[in-house]
Amino acid sequence: MTTSQRKMYLFLLVLTITTAAGFQGWRTLFNNFSVEIAGINGQQMGILQSVREVPGFLALLVIYLLFFISEHRLAALSVILLGLGVGLTGLLPSFAGLIFTTLLMSFGFHYYETLNQSLTLQYFEHFEAPIVMARLRALGSATNIAVGVTIFFLAKFLTYTQMFICLGGLAVLGGLWAIFQDPSDKDLPVQHKKMILKARYWLFYALTFMAGARRQIFVAFAVFLLVKRFEFSVAEISVLFVINNLVNYFVSPLIGRAINRFGERAVLSVEYFSLIFVFLTYAYTDSKWIAGVMYVLDFIFFNFAIAIRSYFQKIADPKDIAPSMAVGFTINHIVAVVVPVIGGILWMTDYRIPFLMGAGMSIISLILVQMIKTVSDKKGEGEN
């Protein structure tokens, strides 16, 4: 790594770890807190999850915020905002309160993720970017393990409110540290500060759109299924998250290497083909433990989405990366804002319906991904 790459990697490393701590803590506690303390039902949970995705839909605004503030400073501020949202969650145990704190947390989370992806693709080359993204995911998983273990032991001694405040405060501290850092490299191409939509990026847009819709079935209803139907406790959810992230700590770097070795089309094909069966199992299993295993597999396959961004990096103009990541996040969340509400309503009729929708979306994604053509693919065709 060059000096500027090392500085950026350290910057992203600290923010990724503190973001993971805050968000994983929120996610571990949120479903149980919502059901046990706030009394949320399935339809309200669907609404909350849709509200959580509104900031992702508005990620396009990042482009215009960059007129006033640099990318790295906006990333730091986003993490502070996430921490405030997490910290306030336990203080507002009502449907309205959860809407407010969820929005606050989600603006921070989605804006940081947009900027994290943009900075990674700008500072690291085609071969390096998948490795760096996978490594950061692995470190995020390690942080999630630490958070899960901590919650498992502290849940007996601390209230939900106290745990939310501690986890949110950690994210705020990470953001405050980052505010005073400057890892930027002035020699990199200046990013466009306007919305970029190009016909040649259509497949990236389509895959991102489907990933957003499909992902929301998992985010909104997988853990809710475990808590509501299979009656997982906070301790059991914490154990599941620890197992989940322990597996991902070792698997994530392998995914980055697999992308470089086999290409984006092969890696994404494995993901979508496997998810068809994961969603069908969610829908029809009566086993608490099989459902838990599906959750772990689902989370592993989520990391394969790195390949969508590395594919874009290979076909994109370098100046398009920052605005395109923002546009991608907005596209990813167009359906994501609607799917949880619709899924929540359908859940009230039959809990299997949202998961059958997820299986259908995976089939469509599998068809789309066969159209991926990268530079390496085209060279191979020419040699034949």
Got the DSSP string for 201-257?
Answer: GHHHHHHHHHHHHHHHHHHHHHHHHHHHTS---HHHHHHHHHHHHHHHHHHHHHHHH
61, containing H or E segment: helix 61-65
Got the DSSP string for 47-91?
Answer: HHHHHHHHHHHGGGHHHHHTTTS-HHHHHHHHHHHHHHHHHHHTT
Residue 84 lies in a domain: yes
Q: In the prediction, which pLDDT does 52 show?
A: 81
Q: In the prediction, which pLDDT does 189 show?
A: 61
Residue 302's domain comprises 3-178+195-373
Query: CB of 222 within 8 A of CB of 282?
Result: yes
Q: In the prediction, which pLDDT does 384 show?
A: 34
pTM: 0.75
C-alpha distances in Å from residue 206, one per residue of 30, 79, 247: 31, 29, 29
**Which one, of 340, 276, 285, lies nearest residue 57 by Cα?**
340
Backbone angles phi, psi at 247, to 5 degrees: -60, -45
**Which one, of 191, 195, 200, lies nearest residue 311 by Cα?**
200
What's the rounded Cα separation, in Å, for the pair 243 and 151?
14
**Which one, of 377, 228, 381, lies nearest residue 291 by Cα?**
228
Residue 378 lies in a domain: no
Domain count along the chain? 1
**If you ran DSSP here, which 8-state letter would residue 188 be given?**
S
Residue 90 lies in a domain: yes
Residue 383 lies in a domain: no
3-class SS letters over 190-205: CCCCCCCCCHHHHHHH
3-class secondary structure, 13: helix
Distance of CA 215 to the CA centre of its chain: 9
Residue 363 lies in a domain: yes
CATH code for position 277: 1.20.1250.20
pLDDT means per 10 residues in the chain (384 residues)? 81 93 88 79 75 76 80 92 93 87 92 86 79 85 84 84 92 93 71 69 88 80 84 78 80 86 90 92 90 88 85 82 76 73 83 90 92 57 38
Query: CB of 372 within 8 A of CB of 311?
Result: yes
